[in-house]
Amino acid sequence: MSELLGIARFTFHEGKVEEFKRLSEECMEIVRTQDAGTLQYDIYFNDDESEAIVIERLPELHRTATFGSRSLERLEILRRHQPTGPLMCMEFWNGWFDSWGLPHHVAAPEANAADLDDLLAAGGSVNLYMFHGGTNLGLTNGANDKGRYLPVTTSYDYDAPLAENGTPTAKYRAMRDVISRHAPVPDEEPAPSPAAPVLDLALDRRTPLWDVLPGAGAPSDGLPTADDLRQWSGFTLYRTDVRADDAVLSLAEVRDRGLVFLDRQPVGVLSRGDGVLSVPLPAQDGELAVLLEDEGRVNYGPRLGEAKGLFGPARTAVRELRAWAAAPVDLDPERLAKLLAEAPFCRPGRPGRRPRALRGYLHSAGRRRPLPAAGRMDEGARLGQRRPARPVLRDWAHAHPLRAGPARPRGRERRDGARAAGSSHGAGAVRRRRGPRPHRILTHPTGRQCRRP
């Protein structure tokens, strides 16, 4: 290649454009004084300064490769494209991303170590991706899309040599042994992290989902995107009116998952990942609402930078729906905590079947630790979905998200056969003694389980 061209597009949060200009001036000064070989570095704003494009052109740079197996074959390809200079694997993939609903990815330590040994023996340099697993806190996870959209989980363990909690793994020791044959390594090793506690999750406050959601929002001719509303993550609520003869809602594209309600009653789910772009509607007039979730921005490829939301035309069986109102959903932790602190008390283990927001506490060794934000919006099994409900706010400490599995009954109501003579139930009343309540097994992506009472 004769030169490298980079183009970046920025959309500014409210009140942040002046800060961007200040930082841009600093970058310009660095380019002028320290990067004399830069061919172009320009910044262009649109008319209202809500967006900007940065263009940078650089002379030809050293080429590297990314791979995770068949090292000698990949280095040979690199050498064909770059006959001279050092060999470098910029990303040596020793694991892979995890996606919701799919198994935890693992790569055999022996295979990773053998490929690493081949790479180093050929004189190559390497950057391990990842060396240390991590966590996508809050709503910061991304997504992959190679023909199928796959949002990445909260856990970014990646089956790395150092696990998400910092514990050295068998892969760490295997790779350390390989590196020691090609370069000196220190004697000390990271200490194992303490075992994760077994936690019980008690949900003691709940409020209807509609108490959390915004009002109607600004009217629109057509479907605005979440980006148009400056909603960069989380949820967006769309509303419109339908008639009894509409029969079905059909969209051109959904990014990424929408819960569909008619007069606040759930009627179906739209899903990008499952390819569901239409739902049948009951034969009644009413207000149609779609609670749209941004499940994660695509990290690379042609869909990099794409907008989120519902994409039309939005059609029914008899007409196109043009009159919409949309509003972003505010998931501010302080707002949700206050809302749920004032919500009615509910018995732990019985959060209800309809979508709602809940407050939860994690119990460990007799200590109660509140979830910092508000728990989750429970989609539940009422909508007939196979995949379990996922936490909306997923940033408690460094724990994995908890996934609700199928209910497993431990006991049942039993009649004791005795009448309560003289009791407050009155003569002839039958008393029931309750056995242990059903519970759910909450499963970490790593396979560990904890019990919700």
Q: Residues 181-214: pLDDT tens digits?
A: 999 999 998 998 888 788 888 888 888 999 999 9
Exposure on the CB side of residue 190, measured as CA atoms within 13 A = 17
The pLDDT of residue 302 is 87
CATH 2.60.120.260, applies to 214-328? yes
C-alpha separations of 264 from 259, 268, 401 in Å:
11, 12, 28
Q: Which tokens is 100 given?
A: 């919701």
- Say yes or no: do domains 3-59 and 214-328 share a fold: no
Q: Would you call the peptide bond into 90 cis, given omega within 30 degrees of 0 as the criterion?
A: no
**What are residue 451's DSSP bridge partners?**
441
The pLDDT of residue 215 is 87
DSSP state of 152: B
Go through 283-313 and write b for each residue having 16 or more CB atoms within 10 A of its CB, e for each that does not. eeebebbbbbbbbbbbeeeeeeeeebbbbbe
- All structural domains of the chain with their residue ranges: 3-59, 65-180, 214-328, 333-452
Q: Which tokens is 425 given?
A: 């139930």
Q: Which tokens is 343 given?
A: 């919500």
The pLDDT of residue 403 is 33
DSSP state of 382: G
Q: Which CATH number fits domain 3-59: 3.40.47.10, 3.90.960.10, 3.40.190.10, 3.30.70.100?
A: 3.30.70.100
Distance CA 78, CA 70 (A): 13
Distance CA 201, CA 176 (A): 39
Closest CA to 310 of 267, 273, 274, 271: 271
Q: pTM for the complete prediction?
A: 0.71
C-beta separation of 328 from 309 below 8 A: no
Q: Which residue has the tokens 């609402």?
A: 289
The pLDDT of residue 377 is 40
Q: Residues 26-75: pLDDT tens digits?
A: 988 988 888 878 889 899 999 889 899 999 988 888 899 999 999 999 99
In this prediction, what percent of the chain has a pLDDT beyond 90?
Answer: 55
Q: Which residues of the chain fall below pLDDT 70?
A: 1-2, 348-353, 365-453
Go through 428-452 and write b for each residue having 16 or more CB atoms within 10 A of its CB, e for each that does not. eeeeeeeeeeebbebbbbeeeebeb
